[in-house]
Amino acid sequence: MPAQNVSADYIAKYRRAYELMRSLPQDDPRSLATQANIHCSFCNGAYKQAGNDSVLLQVHFSWVFLPWHRWYLYFHERILASLLGDPTFSLVFWNWDDQRDGGNVTRAMYLPNDSSLYDAKRNQANLPPTLVKLVPTITGNDSEIINQNLNPMYQDVVNNDNAELFMGGAYVTGTDLSNSTVLSAPLGGSIENGIHNAMHFWTGDPTQPLIQDMGTFTTASRDPIFYAHHSNVDRLWDKWRYGLPGGPRADHSEDDFLNTEFYFYDENASLVKVNVRDALDSSKLGYSYPDVAADELWINY
């Protein structure tokens, strides 16, 4: 559900879930510290590619970006649910693309500094009521910002109707992305390079050398808001795939894509192997996204 529509009961449960996750010993794979380090290690060259150990693994900047992060969220959410003892618990999505119904600010539940949802390293100039900017260079008053936010949504999600442009290009054994960066990622898809990166930079603290926490891979997922941010990226993938005018769009279908494998820790702290093929249908993973009326604003921009 959208982050701005949650009940007080939900917020209490959401806070409790991260309290439990933060209180696990650091070396427990389910702890928030290790969850964040999992992201860091898949993004900063901690692993070698299977089949070519002269090339380091990188899950950003290519077609594996969306499926890897979907699996990451999937296990993260299952861990939270299991810590709560509530299998029905689900993450919210922070729909910063919502320029009408209140999604386009940091929600109040992330702000109290005694909350497990709080993170000290955020841009203090972007606290509410400051509106999100989906392109870093946007300026103007609130209605101008809202209008300018619709353009990258339209360009990055609606206009890029093929998988190469939207999801990113081929990442196969031997593809070396060590020269790609968030500022230059030729194989990165529009959702990643555009609105997704913009929200990382908007949220992180510009007084930190690397715009920590959200503004750099090493620390981004130390901030609980990361998972709500990525839930929205995941929702937009679903929206792009199934919910735009003109009918369903197609994910990549090459075997190299479908057979890509990753390891994650599940809610029992066991290492499990998953592949991209099994990530493509979110309903098979047991979740779905509600229709969000405010999407129409950018879809019809």
Residue 20 or 42 having the CB closest to ligand C2O: 42
Residue 39 or 107 having the CB closest to ligand C2O: 39
- Hey, which residues does 188 pair with through a beta bridge? 168
Rule CB under 6 A: choose which of 43, 79, 131, 158 binds ligand C2O. Answer: 43
Task: Please state, in angstroms and as integers, the Cα–Cα distance from residue 42 to each residue in 36, 64, 77, 91, 120, following that order.
Answer: 10, 11, 19, 22, 24
217 is catalytic: yes
CA distance 231 to 74: 10
Residue 20 or 58 having the CB closest to ligand C2O: 58
Residue 20 or 192 having the CB closest to ligand C2O: 192
CB 43, min distance to ligand C2O, A: 6
76 is catalytic: no
> 207, exposed or middle or buried, with CB in 10 Å at 0-12, 13-18, 19+?
exposed
Map residues 207-246 to x or -, x wherever contact with ligand C2O holds by CB under 6 A: -------------x---------x----------------
CB 243, min distance to ligand C2O, A: 22
Map residues 55-74 to x or -, x wherever contact with ligand C2O holds by CB under 6 A: -----x--------x-----
200 is catalytic: yes
252 is catalytic: no
Count of other CB atoms within 10 angstroms of residue 113: 7
Q: How many C-alpha atoms does 128 have within 13 Å on its Cβ side?
A: 13
Residue 43 or 274 having the CB closest to ligand C2O: 43
CB 200, min distance to ligand C2O, A: 6
Rule CB under 6 A: choose which of 15, 30, 39, 70 binds ligand C2O. Answer: 39
Question: Which among 42, 75, 93, 217 is annotated as catalytic?
Answer: 217
Residue 98 or 234 having the CB closest to ligand C2O: 234
CB 3, min distance to ligand C2O, A: 16
Footprint on residues 184-203 left by ligand C2O (CB under 6 A)? 196, 200
229 is catalytic: no
List the catalytic residues. Answer: 39, 60, 69, 196, 200, 217, 230
Return residues touching ligand C2O (CB under 6 A). Answer: 39, 43, 60, 69, 196, 200, 220, 230
